[in-house]
Structure formats: C-alpha cells, structure tokens
Structure 1
Amino acid sequence: MNQRLWYTSPATEWKNALPIGTGRIAGMVLGGIEEERIALNHEWLCVGQNKERQNEDRSAYLPKVRKLLEQEDYEQATILANEAWGGNGGISGRPSKEDPYQPAGDFRFALDQGEAGNYRRDLDLERARVKISYEADGRYITRVSVGHLIEDCIITRIYAREEPVSGTFWLDRAEDERCDISYELGDNTILMHGVFHQGMKFCVTADLKIRGGKIIPIEGNRLRVEDALEILIFINIGTDAKNELPIMECRRRPLPSKSWEQLYRENIAEHAKQYGKLHLDIFEEEPNLPTNERIKKYREGSGDATLPVLYFNYGRYLLCASSANGELPANLQGKWNEDLHPAWDCDYHNDINLQMNYWPAENGHMEDYTEALLRYLEKMIPYGRDAAKKLFGCRGVWLPLSTDIWGCATPETYGWSVWAGVTAWLAQHVWWHYEYGQDMEFLEERGYPFLKEAAVFYEDFLVKDSDGIYQVMPSQSPENRYVGGGELPVTIGVSSAIDNELIMDLLSHCIRAAGILNIDADKIAVWTEILENLPPLQIGSKGQLLEWNKEFEEVEPDHRHVSHLFGVFPGEQI
C-alpha cells in the first residue's frame, strides 16, 4: 500500500519526471510519447574548476567584530563580519568558487508508433522501477527503466509482447558555452564526450542490445533499431574526478550478459535489502487515483490519511536511489539536476538542508546509507582545520554553511556565510550513527575523534563574559535577521538560540561518548564547565522562545527558517 506514484500523462517538465538512481549515477524519466527523455547525472560531475581553492588568513578581524558586538553595533558588525568571512558568491557581486553540480546530458529515443492510448506512467517504490505503458498501433508497449544496483548502470527495456518495435536512439546535452561536446558511434554504442573548459571531463555511454531485428548507425550520435522484439539500453557515465580517463570508469562495469528477467529480479532483491527494512502502515484504504489528483484533493481537504505514508515512502526511496553505490552524500536535489546553472549551485547547504536529507536515515533503518555522509565529513577535516586556524585563529574544525563535492571549507555565500554552527550540527549525525547502531568500534575509531575535534573549536571560539557566561561571538540564526542589523540578509549578533543549542548538543554527546569509552576525564571536566555556563534559553514577552540573545524585532516574523527550534527537533534540549 502507498508504494507507487502514478500518472496518466507524460511529465511536461523535468521536475515532474520520475527518478531512478544507483547513488553513483541517476536519471529522471519524463515518459514522453513521441520522444522519451531520460535526464542523466553523475554524483561527481561538476564544472570542476575550483578544486584547489583555499582560505586567506582573516583571523585578525575577529577581535574587531567582537568589539562592535560588545558595543551592540550590529549593523557595522554584520558588515565587517561579511568583509572578513563572507567570501564570494551570495550578494557579493563576485562569482562563487563552488563548482556547480552539472547534468551529464540526456538519453532520448523516438519509437515508430501511432497515436497512444491508455497511457500510464508510474514509479514503483518497492521495485525501484519506472514503467511507461500505453497502446499504439494495436500493440501494448512497455518501457521500464531501473537504476541497477548490482550492475551500477541505468537500464531501459522496451517491449511490445513479442511484436516488433523500431525507433531512433541518441544522446545529447543542452548547449553550454563552457563545455565542448563530441560523439563517437559504434555498431551498437553511442559515446558522448564532454570537456569543461579548464575543468572536468566526462563521458556518457549508451549500449543497445536487441533480440531480433537490426541496429543501424545513421548519424554522428544516433542509432536506428528496426523490428526488434526486445530492446535493452545500458547507460553509464564516467568522469575524471579521480584523475582517470572517464571511459575507464565505464569500462570497469562491463555490459551484463543476463536476461532482462534476471536483471529485473535481482535489482528488486538488492533494493529490498535497504528499502525493505522498514514498513509503515496505517489501516486506511488508499484512494485509487493518480498521484497528482490525490495531492490536489488533499490540498482541498479530502482527508486522505494515507497520502503522508506515500510521502514517507517516497522520501526513503529517494535516499536509497541517492545512496546505494554512491560515494557522496545527497545534495540539495539528491543526485538529480537538469540545469546548467542550478539554484544554489545544487550544492551542500549545511544550515539544515544536508541534515534534513539524513533525518530519516538512522531511525528509518537505512543506517548503511549514512556512510557517504560520514566519509564526506571525514574528508572535510583537513580543510576544516585549515579554515578554523586561518579564519578565526582557533584549533579544531570549522565547516562552511555551503560547499560542493570537493568538501572545501571556504565561505562562498556572502551575506549568509558567517556562521560557526555547522560542525556541531553535522556532528549530531555522527553521534546518531553510534546511538542507533551501538557500534563501539565506530565510536572509538571514527565517531568520538570527530566529535572531539568539533568540540575543540568551540573551546577556543567561545568568549567568557564578565558574568562568567560563554558567549558565541559572532553568531547568527541562519538566514534570518532583525531590525537594527542593517540591510544584509542575515544579522550577525551574539549567542543565538540555535548556536547555544548546537553547542549543548555537541558537548553533551562528547561527554557521553568519552564516558562510554572511559577516556578523557580532563576533557569531560572542560566540556561540563562550558555546558554549565552557556546562556540559558529565554522566553519572550509573548511566551515565545527567543531566537536571539535579546527580544529583537524581526524583519520577517514568518521567516521560513525556524532555527531556534532545533532544541525541539532534531535536538533534545527542549
């Protein structure tokens, strides 16, 4: 129940297509009738021009900003803090040095067929497959696409119940002045090469296998199939992100010789190893309506109690399809993107977005799929150490509000970047991995060392005021601002509620971890003393939890970020 998204018409735009993926590569199936488009991505594919970016030493700004904050000159403190640590991008007028996540291109085909009827397009979450079906010219035609987790490629099967099928197949990519595209054509293979100027190289391969009929190369990037009883297309993508030729990544995954039936069955079984670990049911009947109609009626107040279950299942599916064979965590759009210039570079936003991707992972029994996130955090440690020292003169690790596949710790969103809370928030996921799994080896060798290094930063960064209270200076409540803080999109202040909650969260987990491992008694004493002297959470004149250290007037009282409620969820401070 509630394991299927289905529609009675093709997607008219990319965002309404149906996603498949292996974690390493991904596709969005639009389900077109006259022409099918599968939009393709590779988790490592970006422009690739800024892998080596580094921070300059900006630590001399810290006492100057703190002095302005002590004087309660929040506008000037915000301006100076952004001059110091705002970096590029954002509203700076300077291009961000993050490498934007890029589309690999599109696989397309057009079948020889007349008008279609009884059309259906669906994504089966349990079987991890997209199926397009319709009747045309007296034939029942099905097109099934999967991100095959064992073969680590995208496979599409076209079949018309032993009736012959003909069509034209090709690869292409939207015109992009930064990227040169070329093609090679074999007897049954289309190969597309891409080279970003002074950046990454990549390739996309589409290999066709048919039963009956024939394949004819007809143009520089097109193959023609005539009178086949079954068509299988195997799509793969390679990059030079790891300093190898892109084609070598594809060649490490040779074409399987298995039948479609075997490929299909084994992929369902492999997907079930993770997705099938948890089932959520409520005992209500699922409406027999297309998903878009269910959503429309739900918005109109239909009382469809089962739609949230479908939403829950879909979220788990997306994390599976973003993770299975992946080396990188899910980004702002999972692993799917069609835009050459995507919103926010389709990056990793670390002030709630990356974390939200993984909220259902440990408690949703997909703990194995957090490994990419954990490895990514570990990869960032050297960059974070360098940033902590150069930006703030501190030990430990400072991680940025946003970054890209390289994990560099440089501020790249001027106007938003000045924040010291990221490391503590992401450390929560490290603790959860131990808390849910109770893996002592993980805690000792990976978890606790990360938590401890995150805590060291705050040991140095916090400022003890004249009352003996540890203050966070500078501090922000992500993406929000208050009156008197100037015109920049985020006000820099002192000890926002979320910063206090994050430090409480981190240090309490450090203390528990050290106690479990029976080590670092001296550190436990340091962390306990800090916890006992952090600013308390405050209640305002309307009975509300204060977002900042004082009851400031908000510029946007209904702002979409409610960061101060971290202590309710996902934290446990309230």
Structure 2
Amino acid sequence: MTKSFFFAAAFMLFTNYTSGQENNHQLLYDKPAGQFEEALPLGNGRLGVMVYGGVNTERFSLNEATLWAGGPVNPDMNPEAKNYLKPVREALFAENYKKADSLVRFMQGKFSESYAPLGNLFFDFKHRGQVTDYKRELDIQNAISRTSYTINGTTYTRETFISNPDQLVVIRFTASGKDKLDFTCRLNSLLQHKVSSSNKDLLMKGHSPVHVSPLNHGNEVIWDDVNGMRFSAHIKVLKTDGKVVAKDSSLTVSGAGEAVILLSMATSFNGFDVNPGTHGKDELKIAAGYLHKAKSYAVLLKKHTADFRKYYDRVQISLGDEDRAGMKTMDRLNAFAAGKSDNALVALYYQYSRYLLISSSRAGGQSTNLQGIWNEKVQPPWSSNYTTNINAEMNYWGVETANLPEMHQPLLDFIGRLAKTGAVTARNYYGASGWVLHHNSDIWAMTNPVGDFGKGSPAWANWPMGGNWMATHLWEHYAFTQDRVYLSEQAYPLMKGAVQFCLDFLIPDKKGRLITAPSTSPENYYVTSKGYTGALLYGGTADLAIIRELFNDYVKASEILNTDPDMRNKVKNALKNMLPYRVGKAGNLQEWYHDWKDEDPRHRHLSHLFGAYPGYSITTAQDPVLADAVRKTLTVRTNDGTGWAITWRINLWARMQNGERAYDALKKLLRFVGNGAEVKMKGGGTYANLFCAHPPFQIDGNFGGGAGIAEMLLQSHQGYIELLPAIPVEWKDGSVKGLVARGGYVVNMGWKDKKLTSAVLKAKNTGICKVKYGSKTIDISVVAGKEYSLNELL
C-alpha cells in the first residue's frame, strides 16, 4: 500500500465518521430557562453572560472575571503561627492526635474573598400573544446564543455573542412580520450601584464589598465605597431602524425591525497587590473605550467567529449516534439516563468542556474559578474561589490534550502571583524558604491556611500542598509544548521555589524516612485502631505523592536546562529517602501513615491516588502491584460521588486502562439531577445546561469530564503515546482529530468495531517517537512539522 493511498483512505474514513457530527455542536431547548442551571453560558475569558431566553422579559446575568470582594492580602496576619509547628509535630509523633488537632488551629488565617456578580441586563418586550415555534440554542462551535419564536405571525430572533477581539457583548434583535420590536432595556445589580441613561446609552456603576464571609460561615458582607473594587456596565445602541428614547435609567427602542445592542463591562482591578479603590484603573474609561472602537455587527461577528473557531476547530470527535444530534438536550439527557445509547452526547460534552475553557480562560486574563466566570450570587457556594486541593487544578487537567495550550496560561501566570505571597506565608507559618499555598485562594493570591483563625477543621484548612500541586502544571505545559524558553524563564524558577519549601518541610520519621508533618488527606478522616477519628497526622500518602511528582518534574527540568546540580542532587536524595507507597492489608493503596480505616469508605476525595492521576509516579506498565492497589481503592470508593469526584474516577479508571469502569463513571456524570435543593440527596451529575452538578454547580466537573474522555482515547504519560488505551465497548466506531500527546505530537485516528483503522501523527520536534496500540509498540524517527502514518500498528 502506498503512502498516498493510505492517507487518502484515512481521510475518507475520517470524513465518513465526522460528516454526521456537523449538527452535534448545539445545546437545544424548546422553552426559556427558569433558573441559572438552565440558562446558557457565553464568555470571552473576561466577560461572562448567562442567557435565559425569556419571551416577555429576557434576562442576561453578567460577570466580569476581575470583579471580586476584598483587596490585597496582608500575609502577616498571624505572626505567631510558625511557633506552633514544633509543638504540633511533637504531639503527632507522640500519637496525641487530638492535641495536635487543637494546636494546629493556631496556624490558621483568614478566609479567601468571593467572586462577585456584576449584575443583570433585562429587555422587557411589549409583544403579547400566543407563542409558537419557540427555540433556544447555544452554538458552541461559533460561541453564539440564539433565541427565536413567533407571535401573531411575526418571528422574533435574538443572537448574542461575546467578542474576545473587541471585548464586547453583542446582541442583535430582529423582527420579521407585521409587528415590530418594542422593548425597554434596564440594568440592576446585587452590589451597591447606580444607573443612569442619556442619548442612546445606559450606564451602571458601582462597587463590590471589601469582605464577604464564605457561605455557611456567616452572612457578613462589608461595604466600603473607598476601598471596594469599582465596576461599570455601559450599554450603547449601535444600530436600529427604530426610535431610541432614554428615560428614567432605561432605554426604550420602538418601531424597529432590527436593533444591535453593545454591552461593555470593566472594573478598577489593577493587579493582585494594588488597592482597587484608591489606586484602581479607570473602569469607566476602559468600558467606554471598547464601545468607541466598535464597528458594524457584521465586522464584530466576523472577528469573533474567526477568533473562536481558531481554537475550537483544532479538535473533532465522533463516537457514533450522530442521528441524535438534532434532539432537544433535555430529551437526550433523559434518554441517556434511561439507558439509550447517545455517544454523540458524550462527544458533545467533550466539545462543551473545550467551549467552556475557551470562553473562560484566555491568555492575559484570570484563571477560571470554581464556577468558571459565571456566578449570580454575592455569597456563592465556596465563595466561587480557587479551591486548590483539586478543583482549581481540575479545571486545567484536559487543556493540553484538548489542543488548547494558550488557555493554560492564565493558571500558569496565577502561579507566579501565588509564589510571591506564598513566599511570605512559607516564612511566617513554617520558617521555610520557597513558597507555599494552602486550601483556598482568590484573585488577591491569598496563600495562608484558611479557617478564620482557628475555627476551621484541619481536614481542609491546614493542608500546605496546594502550591506543589499547582507547580506540576508548570511542567505539564512544557511536556506538551516543548517550549524551552517558557521552561527556563517562567516554569523552572516557580518549580524551584515550590521544591525549596518541600525540602525544608520534609522531616524524618522514626525510621529515617522523609515524611510531612503535619499532614492531612484533603477533607477525609481516619479512624485509628483505638477508635479516634481525626484528620491531622504525619506522613499522609497524598502529600508524598504530590511532592514525589513535583520532585521528579524538577529533576527533569533541571537536567534539560543544565542548571542547579547541587539542588538537583538534594532532590534526588530526598526522593530516595521518602516514605514509599504501601499496600494496605485490604489490598488498597494505603492512604494514611498507619493502615487505618476511613471514616467514610466511599469518600469523594481520592487524593492518595494522585500518583496514578493526575500524576504518573504509579503506572500500569512500571508498577503493576501498585496499579492493582489503585484499582482496589477505586472499587471500594465506588463510582458515585459529587460531580467533580465522579470525573476524578473517570480519569483514574482510564489510567488503569479499564474502559468499562471509566464509562460507568461517565454515565453517572451525565445523569440529569434536576434543579433545586432536592438534588442534594442524589449526588453529582449534570444540569439541564450541561453544567456539572456538585451539587450545586461547580465547573470543575465539566473540565475533568472532558479530560477523562480524552484520557480514554489517548495517553502519553508512560514514555510513549498509547492509542485507544481505555475505549469501552459502547464506543464501537469513531474517530478523533487533533488531540495532543506529550512531546507536542498531534494525533488523528479512526476505529471500527473497536479496531484501529487509521492513525496519523504530526511531529512538533525532530527525534524518536514511541507509539503503542494494544500489544504493538513502534519507534518512529520523525522530523518537526511532518506527518506520519502509523499503519504498522494496524
């Protein structure tokens, strides 16, 4: 078979598998959203909108990524904290866990601040009558929301998108028929604000609180119009053939066949270490500037579409069942839950995870928080902050494989800010060098242990591994991109700082093995052989797994850059002397230093399995015994849990190369759990708008779920690229194009009856690439920029 013939056959096969998925890029509904979990998200990385699609009144809830409560952190709030480290360790090594628990609370600080909702934009329509042909959709391929319906023979349509190039929300209304557009536009906010109107403009300005206590930890909301972050929302009628009247803090458009509305939003945020009230940016000037530059609707749409498609179109995926693509999204969710096949729904969910990432994480902007950029509450669940004992990191688990390396950059930049405040926290709380991050953070790069100065449980408050976990992302970005300049100038110094903290923090146990103390396994509790239930201990497996991963990454980076040989040797020696992984008497991977039981055997967190995923110090090829222990642990924990917890199980089962167990978890992730308080009894799943239900909403499950789907199709963590490592029987036929493996390799492949039928690899660098499929492994000599067929594996 000639090479040209092979490529032609592969292309035809791929075309056949992908031709049916052209319509599988929409979320479709036949009625307006009644609540947040039914509304449709739009975003450009900085601006976020939830579109409700109402008939008489349309509502857009508004967010701006930098609008947070609070201001720059004071890292010296607990100067006595480090004095308790030695007594805590002494109590732990004396096995007096209760005393250690009480002492470690003196090493806590303030809570993080909350991500704030900017407000709401309403359009009140005067049309009345019987509504027919209602349709609401989110086109995730073009990042456009559309609503249409007919009243009295007139068809009304709305199109909304948020442009990244122009930094504007763009809304276009049309009416086709005898009745015309007549509507009033108004703004409001849950924050302190004022609204005014003039000519064809509408302006809302206000400020956020200087402090918001976390939900379930009080109802304190403190306002300060001097130091609070300011915001503005500025509306302009760009075009209409009707009449525009400004009156009483509103705009009215009447007698129009078309109206194009622009919304610009901005805040006074001027950096994580700058008071946004007294030294903030001019948010009014910024918002007005974006409006001033806007051209026609056609130009805005063209620039927006080209920008978004540049990222979205890099990956195509087909898993079959494309005939279901035209169904209403709720019907698909319900049918899937009832056991009907809808592999196209899985493919849609994967692309939706990519859509959400492109929409909420853009280079130069903020890292996605617990709800991405979409939040409607002054006191959102868990402050909609950065929860760094998994959730903030999970948002970026799949970013590199999804061919979206640019969207990783906000997190990598955030790590740089955390390192600055974290250096003060390391010194003040532990007397250590380097930098440290605990359980929570916010836009102000807070790094101290949370807990409100002793009121928080050590199970979550006193966990100092957040910085080390974050730092593994620095290496992963290099592993995929092979960007040596980035490794040298950005990643390596930050990795080195995290490593320095660990070297100072590690301490020998009674047998001379390096461990952490104090230690926890995030949010989980042990039961000792004497019946004591606690969280604080020494030498927890999760801590050591994260540090082991960071140390291995650092050694590789140091060797590539040929720098710091003395420190590299210290790290290598520390790796040799660390407490190793151990298998418990039940065959599970031991979570605690002693072989204790869990208070909750099915606990949602799987932190001690970090070495299997997202790390890879435990692999199926090199560590079969430990891999079996991981499988045993997963079996005991089950595939049930909160939304993000289910996605962790998808990824772990994929790493363990068990496609059926991974798919079982995926099915649980995609179960419709409804809206409202009753879902708290049902566990995690998916809301009507495909947002992940913790419950309540957390976006990490969307991103973790996408990562898990990709992990089932492609892996590259064991020193080679493996094709279809965990494909379930349900994905009998399919294809994928554009996934990325470590080393920067882009992979296209198709399969039929679970057998690989085509595979093409594009190399980023010149060298030797190892590829595995089933029992076959080949070495390919590749040249940067060229494509290679992998027909030897077929």
| TM-score, shorter chain, exceeding 0.5 | yes
| Residues 15-34 of structure 1 mapped to structure 2, 5 A cutoff | 15-34=37-56
Distance in 1 of aligned mates of 2:73 and 2:565: 40
Any idea what the Cα deviations from partners look like across 1:132-181, whole Å, max 9, x if unmatched?
1111121111111101111111111101237631111111123xxxx432
Distance in 1 of aligned mates of 2:90 and 2:478: 40
Q: Aligned residue for 1:91?
A: none
For 1:269, the aligned partner's letter is A
Percent identity of equivalent pairs = 31
Secondary structure at the counterpart of residue 303 of structure 1: coil
Q: Aligned residue for 2:146?
A: 131
Distance in 1 of aligned mates of 2:235 and 2:529: 55
Q: Retained in 2: the 8 A contact 1:26–1:336?
A: yes
Q: Displacement of 1:340 after TM fit?
A: 1.2
Q: Retained in 2: the 8 A contact 1:182–1:193?
A: yes
Q: Aligned residue for 1:209?
A: 238
Q: Return the match for 1:472 from 516, 519, 523.
A: 516
Any idea what the Cα deviations from partners look like across 1:236-292, whole Å, max 9, x if unmatched?
112112212220221231345533233222211100122222222223324132111
Q: Aligned residue for 1:501?
A: 545
Q: Aligned residue for 2:64?
A: 42
Q: Displacement of 1:352 after TM fit?
A: 0.5
Q: Displacement of 1:328 after TM fit?
A: 0.7
Q: Return the match for 1:341 from 370, 379, 382.
A: 379
| Distance of aligned partners of 1:487 and 1:314 in 2 relative to their CA distance in 1, 3 Å threshold | farther
Distance in 2 of aligned mates of 1:467 and 1:131: 65
For 2:185, the aligned partner's letter is F
For 1:226, the aligned partner's letter is S
Distance in 1 of aligned mates of 2:122 and 2:70: 26
Q: Aligned residue for 1:158?
A: 173
Q: Aligned residue for 1:80?
A: 103
Residue 390 of structure 1 pairs with residue 402 of structure 2: no
Q: Displacement of 1:326 after TM fit?
A: 5.5
Q: Aligned residue for 1:491?
A: 535
Distance in 1 of aligned mates of 2:332 and 2:362: 30
Q: Aligned residue for 1:92?
A: none
Secondary structure at the counterpart of residue 590 of structure 2: coil
Q: Retained in 2: the 8 A contact 1:485–1:491?
A: no
Distance in 1 of aligned mates of 2:533 and 2:189: 36
Q: Aligned residue for 2:573?
A: 529
Any idea what the Cα deviations from partners look like across 1:10-64, whole Å, max 9, x if unmatched?
1100121100011111100011111110000011112235644544221111110
Q: Displacement of 1:380 after TM fit?
A: 1.6
Q: Retained in 2: the 8 A contact 1:210–1:228?
A: no
| Distance of aligned partners of 1:168 and 1:190 in 2 relative to their CA distance in 1, 3 Å threshold | same
Q: Retained in 2: the 8 A contact 1:211–1:228?
A: yes
Q: Displacement of 1:390 after TM fit?
A: 0.3
Secondary structure at the counterpart of residue 122 of structure 2: strand
For 1:527, the aligned partner's letter is V
Q: Displacement of 1:554 after TM fit?
A: 1.2
Q: Retained in 2: the 8 A contact 1:350–1:401?
A: yes
Q: Return the match for 1:266 from 303, 327, 344.
A: 303
Q: Aligned residue for 1:184?
A: 196
Secondary structure at the counterpart of residue 351 of structure 2: helix
Q: Aligned residue for 1:275?
A: 312
Secondary structure at the counterpart of residue 527 of structure 2: coil
Distance in 1 of aligned mates of 2:343 and 2:561: 45
Q: Aligned residue for 2:642?
A: none
Q: Retained in 2: the 8 A contact 1:74–1:486?
A: no
Residue 8 of structure 1 pairs with residue 49 of structure 2: no
For 1:168, the aligned partner's letter is T
Structure 2 length normalisation: TM-score?
A: 0.68
| Residues 46-195 of structure 1 mapped to structure 2, 5 A cutoff | 46-49=68-71, 51-52=73-74, 54-57=76-79, 58-81=81-104, 83-88=105-110, 96=111, 98-114=112-128, 115-161=130-176, 164-174=180-190, 179-195=191-207
Q: Which runs of 4+ in 1 moved over 6 A?
A: 485-490
Q: Displacement of 1:118 after TM fit?
A: 1.0
| Distance of aligned partners of 1:308 and 1:403 in 2 relative to their CA distance in 1, 3 Å threshold | same
Residue 452 of structure 1 pairs with residue 496 of structure 2: yes
Secondary structure at the counterpart of residue 59 of structure 1: helix
Distance in 1 of aligned mates of 2:533 and 2:238: 54
Q: Aligned residue for 2:639?
A: none
Q: Aligned residue for 1:564?
A: 608
Distance in 1 of aligned mates of 2:608 and 2:395: 19
Any idea what the Cα deviations from partners look like across 1:45-98, whole Å, max 9, x if unmatched?
1223564454422111111010111011222212221x222334xxxxxxx3x2
5+ residue gaps, structure 1, are: 89-95
| Distance of aligned partners of 1:427 and 1:255 in 2 relative to their CA distance in 1, 3 Å threshold | same
For 1:266, the aligned partner's letter is K
Q: Retained in 1: the 8 A contact 2:245–2:251?
A: yes
Distance in 1 of aligned mates of 2:291 and 2:531: 56
Q: Return the match for 2:450 from 393, 406, 412.
A: 412
Q: Retained in 2: the 8 A contact 1:142–1:158?
A: yes
Distance in 1 of aligned mates of 2:64 and 2:120: 12
Distance in 2 of aligned mates of 1:18 and 1:522: 53
Q: Retained in 2: the 8 A contact 1:478–1:561?
A: yes
Structure 1 length normalisation: TM-score?
A: 0.94
Secondary structure at the counterpart of residue 291 of structure 2: coil
Q: Aligned residue for 1:93?
A: none
Q: Aligned residue for 2:289?
A: 252
Q: In the comparison of the two structures, how many residue pairs are matched?
A: 560
For 1:184, the aligned partner's letter is S
For 1:389, the aligned partner's letter is R
Q: Retained in 1: the 8 A contact 2:363–2:406?
A: no
What CA RMSD, in Å, does the superposition of the two structures yield over aligned residues? Answer: 1.9
Q: Retained in 2: the 8 A contact 1:485–1:492?
A: no
| Distance of aligned partners of 1:490 and 1:358 in 2 relative to their CA distance in 1, 3 Å threshold | farther
Indicate the larger mover: 391-400 or 324-333: 324-333
Q: Aligned residue for 1:237?
A: 265
RCO comparison, higher one (Cα < 8 Å, 6+): 1
Residue 553 of structure 1 pairs with residue 553 of structure 2: no
Any idea what the Cα deviations from partners look like across 1:471-517, whole Å, max 9, x if unmatched?
11111111111125999997011121111111110010111111111
Secondary structure at the counterpart of residue 336 of structure 1: coil
Q: Displacement of 1:541 after TM fit?
A: 1.8
Q: Aligned residue for 2:10?
A: none
Q: Displacement of 1:113 after TM fit?
A: 1.5
Distance in 2 of aligned mates of 1:543 and 1:354: 31
Secondary structure at the counterpart of residue 160 of structure 1: strand
Q: Retained in 1: the 8 A contact 2:363–2:409?
A: no
| Distance of aligned partners of 1:506 and 1:53 in 2 relative to their CA distance in 1, 3 Å threshold | closer
Distance in 2 of aligned mates of 1:501 and 1:144: 48
Q: Retained in 2: the 8 A contact 1:133–1:143?
A: yes
Distance in 2 of aligned mates of 1:475 and 1:9: 50
Q: Return the match for 1:289 from 321, 327, 344.
A: 327
